[in-house]
Amino acid sequence: MSEALKVPTMADYMATGETPEILFWVGCAGSFDDRAKKITKALVKILNHANVKFAVLGTEESCTGDPAKRAGNEFLFQMQAMTNITVMNEYQVKKIVTACPHCFNTLKNEYPNLGGNYQVVHHTELLQDLLSSGRIKIEGGSFKGKKITFHDPCYLGRANDVYEAPREVMVNLDAELMEMKRSKANGFCCGAGGAQMFKEAEKGDREVNVERAEEALALNPDIIAVGCPFCNTMMTDGVKFFNKEHQVKVLDVAEMIAQAQDL
Amino acid sequence: MIASIIFILLIVAGVTFSTINARKIIRNIGLGKDVNMTDQPSQRWKLMTLVALGQKKMFARPIPAILHIFLYAAFVITQIELIEIFVDGIIGTHRVFRPALGGFYTFMVSFIEILSVLAMIGTIAFLSRRNLLKIPRLVKSELNGWPKLDANFILIAEFVLICFIFMMNGADEVLYSRGMSHATDLGDGSLGLSISSKLGPLLFGGMSDHTLHIIERIGWWGHIILVFGYLNYLPYSKHLHILLAFPNVYFSNLNPKGQFTNLESVTNEVKAMMDPTFTPPPPANPDQPMRFGAKDVTDLSWKQLLNAYSCTECGRCTSVCPANTTGKLLSPRKIMMDTRDRLVEVGENIDKNGGTFVDDGKTLGSYITKEELWACTSCNGCVEACPINIDPLSIIMDMRRFLVMEESSAPTELTGMFTNIENNGAPWQFPPSDRLNWKNE
């Protein structure tokens, strides 16, 4: 079951003269945040299992600049963007997958105008592809009958109109999918976006993630599914706020697919 | 004859003043920076048909949407009746189109009457929602004072306008049945109007011909005076949306909502920094100092300023805002209201000073505080919620850009995050060489 992860870098591929199908953009959270690293590994397991020829940039990857841009530091954003674009164009990157909707949005929408033109997909879109083309299969699994509600990440949903991919992937789990009152285009933010992740919230009555966790918990789910490392942190903290961390798990869609495949 | 002269003077005054005001608004919107929003015209027409004309986004909340449709339909269709009022007013006739149009005339005016009843239900419901039910988004603090008065004033004016219509038609029905109406007698004994043929006798049945003529005239003049009053009140009111919603939706942002603009001025500087051989193009306007982000309304684009004039302060944006719903100071509606207030102030300043803006020591930042700006999660909830595609988020972002790039004024934690990205290529303090460590953990 637990084989060593195969994580080739773009440099490895270049050395052999081959080109990978897709670049896996890991992102800062996926590289450094302990919780998000598990999502990264889950996705790698799936990619390995499905024999997807992918590569990472490894130490050549740098922040997309998203948090700088949303915080108003356009200089820093464009410095980061142009550095990353130089690296990726050097490797002739065509297609990118990322498990972070913020990286996804920035790479997909804000890089082209600076010279970085790539086909960018969110990992739930790639998973949907792999499932529909039969490259991965799920039979039965530990999620059968579990109550799951999906929290739409703002930068995947409203920002890019991707609502169905994560839901269609989870249909394969044979679970009971439930929708929160505010979902899809009306989804309520977890509170992390716009660089809020990196600062204390302004004075108010309560934290945004507490409000959102309360809404999710009202459905009595077994699992709150997420598709963003920052939503993951916020929802996990929100569930803890209500002392429900033993009953309710916060899991990324990729983690569920990996678990369901017993990877 | 005298009535005709008064009527013509009323038209001239009404049109002149509203034209002066309209020109001022267009001038003010033109103070914004140039931005091209004319690509994909077919997509834009489609959007305008669905969202502005069809009010598609209103139906996210069905009850106010239906009430709003009542008012909207009545408003649009009543314009047809105005044509007759204009002709009658100028040449001194009475119901000039009735003999020629016959049954079609009866149908049109009857249809307008039914819509007017629905509109009356709408105004009463809207007044109740604001003043009795106190729907949360309609009683937020940014509406205190003038905005609240403005909203109520418009609704009351609409209510009175509909009363005038029924005074005019109701009294005329009674007069017509007595053969005393100024309308051409077609020998049919009734104007045949759907509501007034019943309501008229009920309300005015016992009154003398003289009183009825006075009531009919009060209704007729009241109607037209209110229409002109309304036209001239619009520029001072949130109600400008009835006109501006259409261009505002037409010039919508067609890119994905997550795509923020890349500042070209910054691109040139960054390119010059990374590539010494790169020579940036000369600035378009060498007299003006280069500005990063928005310090004042004139740093915003004309589209953002059009947004501000188009906002009708419904508060759907604020009611979905994660910051506002958790008690933070930020309200996207207030961002739009403040932008408009400051723009009007800048416009008045220009008028007062013979065509040039004289520094008044204020900026858009005098209206919108840093605390509001930093509370935004950039979730696009407000943009999605707006029935006419107003984008408060872009203004918040442009103001943040000014704070960070020109004032170096970001919350300390964010300054730390910037430093980390600069030094480590990540928002946290991890060395870039550790980026692939997860593989072996």
Nearest CB among A199, A200, A202 relative to B371 is that of A202
pLDDT at A208: 98
pLDDT at B430: 96
The domains found in chain B, sorted by start residue, are 2-30+61-238 (1.20.950), 264-280+288-432 (1.10.1060)
Between β-strands A223-226 and A176-178, what pairing exists: parallel, antiparallel or unpaired?
unpaired
Strand pairing partners for A56?
Answer: A9
Same domain? For A52 and A115 the reply is yes
Residue A67 within any structural domain of the chain: yes
Nearest CB among A31, A211, A212 relative to B435 is that of A31
Q: How far is A92 from chain B (nearest CA, A)?
A: 20
Residues of B in contact with A122 (CB under 8 A): none
- Asked if B262 lies within 8 A of A113 by C-beta distance, the reply is yes
Residue A158 within any structural domain of the chain: yes
Q: Is the pLDDT of residue A244 over 90?
A: yes
The number of residues in chain B equals 441
pLDDT at B282: 77
ipTM over 0.90: yes
Residues of B in contact with A215 (CB under 8 A): none
Q: Scanning every residue of chain B, which has its alpha carbon at the shortest distance from the alpha carbon of A196? A: B377
**What stretches of chain A adopt beta strand conformation (E)?**
22-25, 54-55, 95-98, 119-122, 147-150, 176-178, 223-226, 249-252
The rounded distance, in Å, linking the Cα atoms of A233 and A33 is 10
3-state SS assignment for residue A55 = strand
Same domain? For A26 and A111 the reply is yes
Q: Scanning every residue of chain A, which has its alpha carbon at the shortest distance from the alpha carbon of B324? A: A204
Q: Scanning every residue of chain A, which has its alpha carbon at the shortest distance from the alpha carbon of B424? A: A62
Residue A238 within any structural domain of the chain: yes
Same domain? For A81 and A143 the reply is no
pLDDT at A138: 87
Candidates A202, A203, A215, A231: best to mutate against B (most CBs of B within 10 A) is A202
pLDDT at A140: 65
> What stretches of A181-263 show up as alpha helix (H) in DSSP?
208-217, 229-241, 253-260
Candidates A3, A34, A47, A78: best to mutate against B (most CBs of B within 10 A) is A78
The rounded distance, in Å, linking the Cα atoms of B393 and B321 is 11
Q: Is the pLDDT of residue A2 over 70?
A: no
Q: In the listed set A73, A96, A129, which residue is the last one of a domain according to the structure?
A: A129
Same domain? For A149 and A90 the reply is no
Residues of A in contact with B280 (CB under 8 A): none
The rounded distance, in Å, linking the Cα atoms of B329 and B376 is 10
Residue A172 neighbours by CB distance under 10 Å:
20
Q: What is the CATH number of the domain that holds A50?
A: 3.40.50
Q: In the listed set A94, A111, A129, which residue is the last one of a domain according to the structure?
A: A129
Same domain? For A160 and A186 the reply is yes
For chain B, residues with pLDDT lower than 50 are none
Query: Which residues touch B256 (CB under 8 Å, ≥6 apart)?
Result: A105, A108, A109, A159, A160, A161
3-state SS assignment for residue A149 = strand
pLDDT at A1: 42
Residue A5 within any structural domain of the chain: no
Q: What are phi and psi for residue A165, nearest 5 degrees?
A: -50, -55
Q: Are B121 and B283 in contact (CB under 8 A)?
A: no
- Asked if B267 lies within 8 A of A114 by C-beta distance, the reply is yes
Here the tokens at position B216 are 């009919």
Same domain? For A94 and A149 the reply is no
HSE, CB side, 13 Å, CA atoms: give it for residue A113: 14
Q: How far is A189 from chain B (nearest CA, A)?
A: 6
Same domain? For A109 and A22 the reply is yes
% of residues, chain A, pLDDT over 70: 98
Residues of B in contact with A41 (CB under 8 A): 438
Q: How far is A259 from chain B (nearest CA, A)?
A: 18
Residue A248 neighbours by CB distance under 10 Å:
23
Residue A3 within any structural domain of the chain: no
- Asked if A31 lies within 8 A of B258 by C-beta distance, the reply is no
Average pLDDT of A208-213? 98
Residue A1 within any structural domain of the chain: no
Range of the structural domain that residue A234 is part of = 138-260
Query: Which residues touch B322 (CB under 8 Å, ≥6 apart)?
Result: A188, A189, A191, A208, A211, A212, B377, B379, B381
Looking at the 3D structure of chain A, how many domains does it have?
2
Residue A190 within any structural domain of the chain: yes
Give this prediction's pTM. 0.95
Same domain? For A232 and A160 the reply is yes
Q: In the listed set A73, A102, A129, which residue is the last one of a domain according to the structure?
A: A129
Say what angle helices B302-310 and B241-250 make with each other, to 10 degrees. Answer: 150
- Asked if A188 lies within 8 A of B410 by C-beta distance, the reply is no
Q: Residue for token digits 């700006």?
A: B373
Residue B304's closest CA among B235, B264, B248, B377? B248
Residue A138 neighbours by CB distance under 10 Å:
18
Nearest CB among A31, A159, A196 relative to B257 is that of A159
Q: How far is A174 from chain B (nearest CA, A)?
A: 31
Q: How far is A131 from chain B (nearest CA, A)?
A: 25
pLDDT at A124: 98
SS3 content of chain B, % helix, strand, coil (to 5): 65, 0, 30
Query: Which residues touch B44 (CB under 8 Å, ≥6 apart)?
Result: B38, B250, B251, B252, B254
Q: What is the pLDDT of residues A149-178, one digit of tens each?
A: 999 999 999 999 999 999 999 999 999 999
Q: CA dist B64 to B67, B127, B139, B248, B387, Å?
A: 5, 12, 16, 21, 12
HSE, CB side, 13 Å, CA atoms: give it for residue A162: 24
Q: How far is A55 from chain B (nearest CA, A)?
A: 12
Residues of B in contact with A204 (CB under 8 A): 323, 326-329, 375
The rounded distance, in Å, linking the Cα atoms of B31 and B37 is 16
User: If you ran DSSP here, which 8-state letter would residue B54 be given?
Assistant: S
Residue A24 within any structural domain of the chain: yes
- Asked if A109 lies within 8 A of B258 by C-beta distance, the reply is yes
Candidates B317, B325, B379: best to mutate against A (most CBs of A within 10 A) is B379
Angle CA B420–B421–B423, to nearest 5: 65
The rounded distance, in Å, linking the Cα atoms of A48 and A4 is 10
Same domain? For A163 and A228 the reply is yes
Residues of B in contact with A191 (CB under 8 A): 322, 377
Angle CA A205–B131–B324, to nearest 5: 20
Here the tokens at position A131 are 């499932």
pLDDT at B196: 97
Same domain? For A53 and A144 the reply is no
Residues of B in contact with A33 (CB under 8 A): 428
- Asked if A31 lies within 8 A of B271 by C-beta distance, the reply is no
Same domain? For A91 and A117 the reply is yes
Residues of A in contact with B394 (CB under 8 A): none
The rounded distance, in Å, linking the Cα atoms of B427 and B421 is 5
Same domain? For A142 and A124 the reply is no
Residues of B in contact with A28 (CB under 8 A): 425-428
pLDDT at B2: 87
Q: Scanning every residue of chain B, which has its alpha carbon at the shortest distance from the alpha carbon of A207? A: B326
pLDDT at A3: 66
Residues of A in contact with B418 (CB under 8 A): 68, 71, 73, 76
3-state SS assignment for residue B426 = coil
pLDDT at B281: 79
**What stretches of B5-98 adopt beta strand conformation (E)?**
none
3-state SS assignment for residue A223 = strand
Q: Are A173 and A156 in contact (CB under 8 A)?
A: no
